[in-house]
A and B are shown apart, each in its own frame.
Chain A
Amino acid sequence: MSKILLFSEFLLSLEPIIVLHISMDVSAKTAISKLAESLHKQTNFTKKECEHLLHMYRELAGADDVKLDRSKFKDILHCSFGMTDAMMIDHVFRAFDTDFDSSISQEEWLKGMSTFLRGTLDEKTQFAFRAYDLNSNGMISREEIFQLLKATLIKQPVEEDPDEGVRDLVEIVFKKFDTQKKGVIDYAQFKAMVAEEPLLLQALGPCLPDEKSADAFLCTFEELHLPTTISYIKTGSQR
């Protein structure tokens, strides 16, 4: 008898904590599910997938009402998507951060991930353009390309001008994209060229995850199995 009493007392003593926890969880959950409900149509995810991503967001942010900041986001890109180039990670962060507040909101997170993981060619083109447009002025200039490409070639000490090769590459890229001789690459030119040769989508550096890490990231929660990369070849109807 006494044992039973003791146990009920124990339960009572626990009650406030449990209730508190449940209430917090419930409110967060409903918030997440509401947000997922409203946003999933704008993304390439199902509602459940959105919820999962939002839970993940909360966990990464550490608490409710805290936005993902640059360093935490960088960790994800680095650990989950194998991106190592600090410069490029910065650029990707800027492409995610559509309102330029140096942090990533839940909405930005969902939409960014949607493009990042399941984007169509158009979405990915836009995303890449944002990443490459370093000063976010809607145009990519020669200098920006130089910045993006300067580390791509292995520097050979014997060469007189180590940047000569890079400048050459910049010229190649510029000539390729600037079909209308505008002196800068605007989005229309970029999009047209990428549509013609999808390999050029990431011509200025890897701003999108590779197929393997994207698949690995998605496989824990995906409901639909959709391709994570675009098709680089032209099939029947496109020819």
Chain B
Amino acid sequence: MGLTLTKAADWLDNSKLDFSPSNQIILTDILKAVDGYSKNNPIGGKMKFSEPLVWDSTLKFEDFKKTERFPETSQEVAHVECHSFDMLQLVLDACRSKKTAEVRACLEGNSDPVSKILGNRYACNTEDDVEFYKQAEEDLQGEDITYEEFETKKVVLKMAMEFHNLDVRMLRSVQGLMSKDSRLSPRLVEAEFDCLKELSGSEDEQPLRDIEPVPCYVHVFSNGYRAPNFRQLQGDIAYFLVYLKDTDVICVTAGTKGWFVNKGYSKDTNDVDFERRSDLYGSLFALLRERSRHFRERTSRKSGDGETAADEAADGAEKPDQEGDADQQAAREEAEERKKDPTLRWVSLGTSEQQSQERRSARQPQSAAAAAQQSDESDSESGTDEEEDAVERRHESNADLPSEYWQIGKFVRYLKGGNQTSTIISLCALRDFQLNTEVCQLAIRDVGGLEVLLNLLETEENRCKIGSLKILKEISQNPQIRRAIADLGGLQTLVNILKEPSKDLKCLAAETIANVAKFRRARRIVRQHGGIRKLVSLLDCPALNGPTSPEIERDIEVARCGALALWSLSNSTKNKRAMKRAGVIPLLGKLLKSRHEDMLIPVVGTLQECASEPDYRVAIRTEGMVEDLVKNLKSDNAELQMHCASTIFKCAEEEETRDLVRSYDGLEPMVGLLNKTDNKELLSAATGAIWKCSMSSKNIRKFQELNVIEKLVRLLSDQPEEVLVNVVGALGEMAAEKENRHAIRKAGGIGPLVQLLTGTNQALLVNTTRAVGRCAQEKENMAIIDRMDGVRLLWSLLKNPNPEVQASAAYAICPCIDNVNDAGEMVRSYVGGLELIVHLLRSDNIKVLAAICAAVASIAKDEENLAVLTDHGVIPLLAGLTRTQDEELKRHLSEAIACCCAWGNNRIVFGKEGAVAPLVSYLRVKDPKVHRSTARALHELSRHPDNCITMHECGVVRHLLGLVGSDDEALQLAASGCIANIRRLAMANEKSRQSSKARGGGNGGANGKAVAAK
């Protein structure tokens, strides 16, 4: 083992072993050899080492007590001395789970253990083995040795041989590991950078915000490196700044050994601190997955089609199996040792890493090209694909194949080698299998049936095409088959069949497309081959509800299948637009008049998908579809009701639509759906529709008549979160009216609402805080909230990472403080609460800032709390915010400033921090609410002469004069008070000037006019 330790092991500078995978393998190998050695070789075990092995142990004294025999080590356990393998065994037994660490310590203490054990003659010789053999020969040929000596020498020799073998074994496994360890090259680094750049963007589904090379090292040298020459020597390739969504910017280094986070880029010095600050990762992707939760979630998002993370793991484990080498073991151990490197998944996203592409293309001939195509097209749909990573589950051997495999294989053979008659018979026979089971679906694929079926689609024989499509339609319900069909170019053929005159073919092809287009790549292929226009034209069905004949029924069927396909396709934004351009909207409007549920479900389903686009929402309203949607809410079919309610949910974002729903009497059936508590999807859709509809006050009145509040409150318990979000959202909207707030209390809704504040679902928390906040406007409600300690819960939500929750919680806190008795004491009782509020004023989210300002205004009404806030430095923070452009923030900010003026010399500080001038400019904003709070703030500030001067210089008087004429009394009062203060100052000035003959008449003149106007 000497050779391995000197050559293969990674030693650190301080003669410690590095924690590298190769070392790990060496350690485990040595441990395996040593542990149990004395048991297997009693003689060798007893043999005394020529020198004892000495090292600083990791063991504690107590560890030894637990073993039965006390070893002959010195009392200080930190220092271990071993004279034979028996002793070594004792030490190892004492270690239990820490054996590897102990071996590590031993090796670090004895860099050449073999020479110590067997004597210097066996010291590690790095050059060749000649010395070793010579030694052995000499040992055996010594003449004047006794029998015992000979025996000992034999043992020594045997051990020497064993060590030698161990050495060879370890070298081999380490070599295996090294051969796997591919080094990064500039090309790979740039490829990964380009790919991540593609994936970056501001939208939520994109895994990261941005990635760019560090500004000081943008230049690419001729050898592809970005790093400066002196760093290239250290193995650095390039440096990048990665802007993540959930954490800050991180600065990463790409080196030949891998990616790692460095100490960061400093703008001031315009340089990078190169020191390594994280583990090494094989790819930036792996590094980012480790660092950012958001990135991990966005890159491993799965569809609801049953692909699970476990499958993914299976995929990862598949690789060593396929390669099937002797060094598998090493690879596995590495995988155990390190966090699993997800490069495999990354590959399927379409990086241009050649090696991995080869692996991939070996499996699926066309997908590599498709992947390349995908990365070419910078699409709104970039990011990971739900099904793109569908997992391959291959049967390991033929032994346990189900009998279906053989039968299906036989029929597929007849399909290939026969005329149309035998083809038809085989197709019909195949149809008799349970095509909805995965076994049969995969069997057809595995025996090469998909290729044959798709080939049949390109023949001239309609009956064969029909038979083939009937099978494809069934088996394409399986995600893996869908992928396979897309990979084999089947979608192009299917789109072409849509042109055929035969209606049967059109129907079946459209239905198959509907099944296959469940994943993004398929949807894009259909669009790119002009499938959308053809499918939309299928919807044109002349007679919908007239007298039926077989022919008309076939036409209706064609339209239905077209709608089914479009429903699947409408999952992609680009497809929605393409559909609109192809004129789908009036056709859907026409089909919506159908009486057949079979037809209505795909049509409404398509509308539901498309209603996420504002254009469609307007069209749904203007094309008169709302009436039909409402009509179908009354249907008996729960699925149809669900889709209708979901569509209304999405469309009712617009006020006109909400009014239309009411005018078509859509609110009653919606409320009726609340009774169907078993069907959670339906319930979620219905409550969602109610939520959005209750944004109109007229709808609220109608809902009141229908006793909605009681029903909604009843739904507050035992419902899944999707339902709860909508229910609470609806209650929040309803609580805009006083009566409803009381009604919620009477129905017993306050308690459950407050309880929901303890949840974790962000959307639910936003809605709940809003609802609680509105309810808190009533004293009676507030009493209940206070009793349940709801304000404390709201306060703790300010620490939530989601800014929306923070903002909503802060808004909710305001009415609570306004309406609770002894609010000041309550607020003070929250340890660190006021500090938290002040801290949040540093947030970079405008909504949070506005909400916190509102909360500050409420809190500052209590003088003592205001004092604490002031101590925490609220004033400069507020003053710093005054330059904002956001009207909502302006309003709450000026309100907060007005309230904060009441303490100490805050007024003066505001003036010094330059808050006055921006406040004056707020008066130019159109919103009267802003005027009102600004006037109040100015009034408060004007009590200090310096501020008055600043205001006057900014031309405040003209604006205030206008406001004095407002209808709002509070505004009038504040404005006139402010003017009065300015005037008073001017008068005082005048007086002092007159007395001291000093200058300053200009001001007086202007203010004199102001007062005159008043």
Contacts and interface: CB of A to CB of B under 8 A. Distances in A.
B421 A233 contact: no
A227 interface: yes
Nearest to B557: A235
Interface string A169-191: 10011001000000000000000
B422 A149 contact: yes
Interface string B333-375: 0000000000000000000000000000000000000000000
A199 B467 CA distance: 7
Interface in A213-239: 227, 229, 231-233, 235-237, 239
A156 interface: yes
Contact of A235 (B462, B466, B556): B556
A3 to B, nearest CB: 60
B556 A202 contact: no
A23 B502 CA distance: 46
Nearest to A151: B419
A39 interface: no
B504 A152 contact: no
A176 B428 contact: yes
Interface stretch (A43-51, A58-66, A72-80, A203-211): A203-211
B590 to A, nearest CB: 17
B598 A203 contact: no
A44 B428 CA distance: 30
Given A156-B417, A202-B463, A235 B431 contact: no
B551 A203 contact: no
Interface string B541-582: 000000010110110110000000000000000000000000
A202 B423 CA distance: 11
A227 B417 contact: no
B452 interface: no
| Interface of A, helix, strand, loop or mixed by DSSP | loop
Nearest to B432: A176
B contacts with A: majority SS: helix
A153 B557 contact: no
A168 B418 contact: no
Nearest to A211: B462
B985 interface: no
B484 interface: no
A102 to B, nearest CB: 26
A196 to B, nearest CB: 10
Nearest to A172: B429
A235 B554 contact: yes
B20 interface: no
B349 to A, nearest CB: 39
Contact of B418 (A153, A197, A206, A227): A153
Contact of A231 (B414, B426, B554): B554
A232 B425 contact: no
A237 B596 CA distance: 10
Of A152, A173, A239, most buried by chain B (CB within 10 Å of CB) is A152
Interface in B421-450: 421-422, 424-429, 431-432
B557 A199 contact: no
Contact of A210 (B425, B462, B504, B507): B462
A231 B428 CA distance: 16
A14 interface: no
B557 to A, nearest CB: 4
B553 A200 contact: no
Contacts of B504: 231-233
B410 A168 contact: yes
Contacts of B417: 153-154, 156, 165
B508 interface: yes
Interface of B: 410, 414, 417-422, 424-429, 431-432, 461-463, 466-467, 470, 501-504, 507-508, 548, 550-551, 553-554, 556-557, 596, 598
8 contacts: A197-B428, A200-B424, A206-B421, A210-B461, A211-B502, A235-B554, A235-B556, A236-B548
Given A206-B421, A211-B502, 6 more contacts: A149-B421, A197-B431, A199-B467, A202-B463, A233-B557, A236-B556
